[in-house]
Amino acid sequence: MTRPERAAVPPLRHIVALGGGGFSMEPANLLLDDYVLALTGKPRPRVLFVPTASGDSPGYVERFLAAFPAARADASWLGLFNRDDGDLRARVLAQDVVYVGGGNTANLLVVWRLHGLDVILREAWEKGVVLAGVSAGALCWFEGGTTDSFGPALAPLRDGLAFLAGSFSPHYDGEVRRRATHHAAILAGLPDGLAADDGAAIHFVGTRVHEAVASGPNAKAYRLDRRGDGVSETALPTRFLGGGAPHRARDVEA
């Protein structure tokens, strides 16, 4: 008797949104980056750095390569301003992690869409490539958020990739006007959403929050919801990666 074939189990889809931190902000504290690498389950994962938001800053690329040496990862970077890669799709889909750097979120979105990278990244996510990023590299995955892309003053951004629902604010405790500006934007129509301090990250499995983690004991992540003429701010349980009680996975969606 022929046994029926089992349906293939779809891979888990991971996104890690860093409010701040990682190699670019905490070069002596790589707990958040280690967390991202561990999601691959590989001792030496393939990690592709995408520094579009910084205009492919050479210094940024150098810092990435220094933080991800050969013993830690098979690291490379993707340039779009002086593009020398003919097959973006094959390059991206061959990775275990795509790590997006900070900078100008609005410019990042324009350039990605021009090159079709937005579509490729969605395919990569659905195939199980871990997507991660800091600041602009975290905001881009949401419907929108607050950004300094349009000048020194923070302003709403409403045309993110929308892999994840709602809005996002990085640097929630690291910039004086970030919290107030994001609350005001929600009251003016920006979707409810999430925020992360510098040194905190929110890990999504599928499109739901799996857990919040931090590279320091005081960094937090938050849920933001409009309530009448105000915004309700609820701190999420945030696991300090440097120690503390074992975490319990929660609210997981494949």
Query: Is 156 contained in some domain?
Result: yes
Contacts of 130 (CB under 8 A, 6+ apart): 14, 15, 16, 36, 39, 40, 96, 97, 98
Beta strand pairing call for 200-205 and 208-214: antiparallel
Structure tokens at 198: 């510098």
Specify the 3-state DSSP secondary structure of 232.
strand
Query: Is 172 contained in some domain?
Result: yes
> So what's the pLDDT on residue 77?
98
CATH number at residue 22: 3.40.50.880
Query: Is 234 contained in some domain?
Result: yes
Query: Is 4 contained in some domain?
Result: no
Query: Is 251 contained in some domain?
Result: no
203 is catalytic: no
> So what's the pLDDT on residue 47?
98
Listed in sequence order, the DSSP H helices in 73-160 are: 88-93, 105-115, 117-126, 136-139
Q: Which of 14, 171, 182, 203 is catalytic?
A: 171
Query: Is 169 contained in some domain?
Result: yes
Our count of domains for the chain comes to 1
What does the DSSP 8-state code read for residue 86?
S
Query: Is 117 contained in some domain?
Result: yes
149 is catalytic: no
Q: Which of 135, 149, 167, 169 is catalytic?
A: 135
Cα angle: 51, vertex 52, 55; to 5 degrees: 95
Q: Tens place of pLDDT for every residue, the chain, 254 residues?
A: 566 666 677 899 999 999 999 999 999 999 999 999 999 999 999 999 999 999 999 999 999 999 999 999 999 999 999 988 789 999 999 999 999 999 999 999 999 999 999 999 999 999 999 999 999 999 999 999 999 999 999 999 999 999 999 999 999 999 989 999 999 999 999 999 999 999 999 999 999 999 999 999 999 999 999 999 999 999 999 999 996 443 332 332 22
Q: Which domain holds residue 153?
A: 14-240
Query: Is 113 contained in some domain?
Result: yes
Measured between alpha carbons, how far is 100 from 81 in angstroms, rounded to an integer? 15
> So what's the pLDDT on residue 248?
32
